[in-house]
């Protein structure tokens, strides 16, 4: 019969010098979502506080970055998946497979307060396969009127005669997406830092603002996957009212053709 020195208790976390109290290091990491990596450590770490220094639940304990480019991913949270596994949620999605990423820590502490030892990092690959000639699926969304119209209320879903919700596809949906971008101030969404215009349309502008405004509108429209190219004209009336006219050419898989977007300062997009 195995004794305490060689049995499960002797070499497990409850043993005097088992991995639960010493020998803490990073074993491996694997991406389980486009913005979540699961890290496995060799021994039980401190995991009781999201703010304590060296705690496995503290996002500041961990770093995640791309090995070649050095691009850093912002760690938003750390949650315990199992006694030795922790899921790190990051803000920016990982690069496409087979880009190599790395998660590392230099401050992680064991239950006994010992500092993490080498290896202190583990590499993992992105989870989204890159297909050079892939054709995205056309977008479909529920139809809703952004503003009130005759016979309808703004900001509500549209119901068909058959009692189902009406849907919109390209190019009508692309026009809606562009309107949303042009009507959203830059930085309004924490998780989309580059979404929206740097300056809102809902105010008057001087002539010196028009060039930058035109290019910003074009850039925002071309950020939509369905848009192949866009052009815009921006003019300012003598009374200081801004008028925007934008035309976006769609990619063939999105139906082709073009959509037109018009807006004046002060209008509700």
- Quick one: 96 and 174 in the same domain? no
Sign of the dihedral defined by the CA atoms of residues 18, 20, 23, 27, in that order: positive
Sign of the dihedral defined by the CA atoms of residues 87, 122, 100, 124, in that order: negative
Q: At which of 95, 125, 155 does a domain end? A: 125
- The 10s digit of each residue's pLDDT in 143-187 is 876 665 555 566 678 888 888 888 888 788 888 889 888 888 888
- Quick one: 255 and 166 in the same domain? yes
- Quick one: 147 and 260 in the same domain? yes
- Quick one: 159 and 118 in the same domain? no
Q: Mapped to the 3 state alphabet, what secondary structure does the chain carry?
A: CCCCCCCHHHHCCCCCCCCCCCCCCEEEEEEEECCEEEEEECCCECCCCCCCCCCCCCHHHCEEEECCCCCEECEEEEEEEECCEEEEEECCCCCCECCEEEEECCCCEECCCCECCCCCEEEEECCCECCCCCCCCCCEEECEECCCECCECCCEECECCCCCECEEECCHHHHHHHHHHHCCECCCCCCCCCCCECCCCCCCCCHHHHHHHHHHHHHHHHCCCCEEEEEEEEEECCCCCEEEEEEEEECHHHCCCEEEEEEECCCCC
Phi, psi of 261 (to 5 degrees): -130, 130
For residues 192-220, give the mean pLDDT: 80
- Asked if residue 134 is part of any domain, the answer here is no
- Quick one: 150 and 190 in the same domain? yes
- Asked if residue 64 is part of any domain, the answer here is yes
- Domain with 103 in it: 24-125
- Quick one: 144 and 257 in the same domain? yes
Question: The CATH number of the domain where 196 resides is what?
Answer: 3.10.450.40
- Asked if residue 7 is part of any domain, the answer here is no
Query: Which pLDDT does position 67 carry in this prediction?
Result: 95
- Asked if residue 17 is part of any domain, the answer here is no
204: pLDDT strictly greater than 90: no
- Quick one: 120 and 172 in the same domain? no
Query: Which pLDDT does position 90 carry in this prediction?
Result: 95
Distance from C-alpha of 79 to C-alpha of 3, rounded to nearest angstrom? 36
- Quick one: 157 and 121 in the same domain? no
Stated pTM of the model:
0.48
Q: Quote the tokens at residue 82.
A: 């199992």
Q: Which has more confidence, 59 or 146?
A: 59
Q: 73 exposed, middle or buried (CB, 10 Å; 0-12, 13-18, 19+)?
A: buried
247: pLDDT strictly greater than 60: yes
Distance from C-alpha of 261 to C-alpha of 152, rounded to nearest angstrom? 21
- Asked if residue 133 is part of any domain, the answer here is no
Distance from C-alpha of 189 to C-alpha of 192, rounded to nearest angstrom? 5
Split into its structural domains, the chain has a count of: 2
- Asked if residue 151 is part of any domain, the answer here is yes
Q: At which of 70, 100, 125 does a domain end? A: 125
Question: The CATH number of the domain where 44 resides is what?
Answer: 2.60.40.1220
Q: At which of 125, 153, 176 does a domain end? A: 125
- Asked if residue 10 is part of any domain, the answer here is no
- Quick one: 148 and 104 in the same domain? no
Most distant CA pair in the chain: distance in Å?
96
- Quick one: 144 and 121 in the same domain? no
- Asked if residue 8 is part of any domain, the answer here is no
252: pLDDT strictly greater than 80: yes
- The 10s digit of each residue's pLDDT in 77-125 is 999 999 999 999 999 999 988 899 999 999 999 999 999 999 999 999 9
- Quick one: 145 and 260 in the same domain? yes
- Quick one: 229 and 144 in the same domain? yes
Sign of the dihedral defined by the CA atoms of residues 113, 108, 57, 38, in that order: negative
């Amino acid at each position: 019969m195995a004794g305490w020195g060689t049995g499960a208790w002797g070499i497990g976390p409850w043993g005097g010098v088992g991995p639960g109290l010493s020998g803490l290091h990073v074993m491996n990491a694997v991406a389980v979502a486009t913005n979540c990596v699961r890290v496995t450590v060799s021994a039980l770490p401190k995991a009781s506080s999201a703010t304590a220094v060296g705690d496995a639940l503290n996002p500041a304990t961990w770093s995640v970055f791309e090995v070649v480019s050095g691009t850093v991913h912002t760690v938003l949270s750390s949650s315990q998946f199992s006694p030795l596994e922790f899921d790190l949620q990051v803000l920016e999605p990982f690069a496409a497979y087979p880009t190599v990423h790395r998660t590392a820590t230099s401050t992680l502490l064991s239950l006994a307060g010992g500092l993490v030892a080498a290896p202190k990092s583990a590499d993992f690959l992105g989870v989204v396969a890159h297909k050079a000639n892939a054709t995205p699926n056309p977008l479909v969304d529920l139809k809703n009127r952004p503003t009130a119209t005759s016979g309808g209320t703004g900001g509500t879903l549209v119901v068909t005669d058959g009692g189902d919700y009406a849907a919109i596809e390209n190019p009508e949906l692309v026009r809606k997406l562009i309107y949303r971008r042009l009507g959203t101030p830059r930085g309004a969404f924490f998780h989309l830092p580059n979404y929206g215009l740097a300056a809102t349309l809902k105010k008057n502008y001087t002539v010196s603002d028009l060039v930058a405004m035109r290019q910003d509108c074009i850039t925002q429209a071309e950020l939509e996957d369905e848009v192949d190219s866009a052009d815009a004209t921006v003019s300012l009336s003598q009374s200081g009212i801004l008028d925007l006219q934008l035309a976006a050419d769609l990619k063939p898989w999105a139906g082709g053709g073009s959509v037109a977007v018009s807006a004046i300062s002060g209008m509700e997009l």
